[in-house]
Chains A and B, each alone.
Chain A
Amino acid sequence: MTTGERTLTASPGLKAWLMADAPESGWQAACGRAYRGWLSFAKNPLGLAGLAIVVLLLLCAAFAPWIASQDPTAQDLTIRLQPPTAMHWLGTDRMGRDTFANLIYGSRVTLYIVVLVLVISAPIGLLVGSTAGYLGGRTDQVLMRITDIFFSFPRLVLALAFVASLGPGLNNAIIAIAITAWPAYARVARAETLAVRKSDFISAVRTQGASNWRIIFRHVMPLSLPSVVVRATLDMAGVILTAAGLGFLGLGAQPPTPEWGAMISVGRENILDQWWVPAVPGMAIFIVSLGFNLLGDGLRDVLDPKLS
Chain B
Amino acid sequence: MADTLTASRSAESSASLLHGARRLLLAGGGLLFSLFTTFFGLLVITFVIGRLMPVDPVLAAVGDRASLATYNQVKEAMGLNLPIWHQFLIYAWKVLHGDFGMSILTARPVLEDMQRVFPATAELATVGIIIGVVFGIPLGVWAAVYRNSLFDHVIRVLGLIGYSVPIFWLGIMGLLVFYLDLQWVGGPGRLDVYFDGEVPTVTGLILVDSILAGDWDVFNNALGHIILPASLLGYYSLAYICRMTRSLMLEQLNQEYLITARVKGVSERRVVWRHAFGNIQVPLITVVALAFANILEGSVLTETVFAWPGIGRYITTALLSADMNAVLGGTIVVGTVYIGMNLFSDLLYRIVDPRAR
State the CA gap A167–B339 with chains docked (Å): 26
B339 contacts A152, CB within 8 Å?
yes
Residues of B within 8 A of A250 (CB): 320
State the CA gap A98–B335 with chains docked (Å): 41
Residues of B within 8 A of A245 (CB): 166, 168, 300-301
Q: For A167, give the chain B residue with the smallest CB separation.
A: B54
The minimal Cβ–Cβ distance linking B168 to chain A, given in whole angstroms, is: 5
A271 contacts B42, CB within 8 Å?
no
B334 lies within 8 A of chain A by Cβ: yes
Query: Using a CB-CB cutoff of 8 Å, which residues 286-301 of chain A contact chain B?
Result: 286, 289-290, 293-294, 297
Q: For A291, give the chain B residue with the smallest CB separation.
A: B164
B163 contacts A293, CB within 8 Å?
yes
Residues of B within 8 A of A164 (CB): 49, 319, 322, 324, 327
A290 contacts B160, CB within 8 Å?
yes
Partner of B297, one of A146, A156, A290: A156
Q: Which label, helix, strand, loop or mixed, suits the secondary structure of the B interface?
A: helix
State the CA gap A165–B328 with chains docked (Å): 10
Q: For A264, give the chain B residue with the smallest CB separation.
A: B169
A91 lies within 8 A of chain B by Cβ: no
A278 contacts B52, CB within 8 Å?
no
Partner of A157, one of B161, B176, B297: B297
The minimal Cβ–Cβ distance linking B248 to chain A, given in whole angstroms, is: 14
The answer to whether residues A286 and B300 also contact, given A152-B339, A164-B319, A264-B169 and a CB cut-off of 8 A, is no
The minimal Cβ–Cβ distance linking B86 to chain A, given in whole angstroms, is: 21
Question: Once A and B bind, how many residue pairs between them come within 8 Å at the CB atom?
Answer: 133
B320 contacts A156, CB within 8 Å?
no
Residues of B within 8 A of A264 (CB): 166, 168-169, 172
The minimal Cβ–Cβ distance linking B45 to chain A, given in whole angstroms, is: 7
The minimal Cβ–Cβ distance linking B324 to chain A, given in whole angstroms, is: 7
B1 lies within 8 A of chain A by Cβ: no
B50 contacts A237, CB within 8 Å?
no
B96 lies within 8 A of chain A by Cβ: no
B245 lies within 8 A of chain A by Cβ: no
A155 contacts B52, CB within 8 Å?
no
Q: For A50, give the chain B residue with the smallest CB separation.
A: B160
Residues of A within 8 A of B304 (CB): 248-249
A162-187, CB under 8 A of B: which get 1 and which 0? 11111100000000000000000000
A285 contacts B38, CB within 8 Å?
no
A261-305, CB under 8 A of B: which get 1 and which 0? 100100010011001001100100110011001100100000000
A146 contacts B41, CB within 8 Å?
yes
A241 contacts B166, CB within 8 Å?
yes
Q: Which label, helix, strand, loop or mixed, suits the secondary structure of the A interface?
A: helix
The answer to whether residues A145 and B49 also contact, given A157-B300, A164-B319, A271-B172 and a CB cut-off of 8 A, is no
Candidate in A152, A245, A272 with the most chain B CB atoms within 10 angstroms: A152
The minimal Cβ–Cβ distance linking A140 to chain B, given in whole angstroms, is: 15
A26 lies within 8 A of chain B by Cβ: no
A282 contacts B49, CB within 8 Å?
no
The minimal Cβ–Cβ distance linking B323 to chain A, given in whole angstroms, is: 9
State the CA gap A229–B302 with chains docked (Å): 31
B169 contacts A278, CB within 8 Å?
yes
State the CA gap A286–B37 with chains docked (Å): 37
State the CA gap A150–B86 with chains docked (Å): 24
B226 lies within 8 A of chain A by Cβ: no
Residues of B within 8 A of A166 (CB): 52, 54
B26 lies within 8 A of chain A by Cβ: no
A157 contacts B164, CB within 8 Å?
no
A4 lies within 8 A of chain B by Cβ: no
B49 contacts A160, CB within 8 Å?
no
Q: For A238, give the chain B residue with the smallest CB separation.
A: B163
B32-69, CB under 8 A of A: which get 1 and which 0? 00100110011001100110111000000000000000
Q: For A241, give the chain B residue with the smallest CB separation.
A: B166
B37 contacts A289, CB within 8 Å?
no
Instruction: Please name 22 pairs of A and B residues whose Cβ atoms are closer than 8 Å in the assembled complex, sorted by A.
Output: A148-B37, A149-B45, A152-B38, A152-B338, A153-B45, A154-B338, A157-B334, A164-B319, A164-B324, A237-B163, A237-B164, A249-B304, A249-B316, A264-B168, A278-B169, A282-B166, A285-B166, A286-B161, A286-B164, A286-B165, A289-B163, A289-B165
Residues of chain B whose beta carbon lies under 8 Å from any beta carbon of chain A: 34, 37-38, 41-42, 45-46, 49-50, 52-54, 157, 160-161, 163-170, 172-173, 175-176, 180, 293-294, 296-297, 300-301, 304, 315-316, 319-320, 322, 324, 327-328, 330-331, 334-335, 338-339, 342-343
Closest 3 CB pairs of A and B: A149-B41, A282-B169, A290-B164
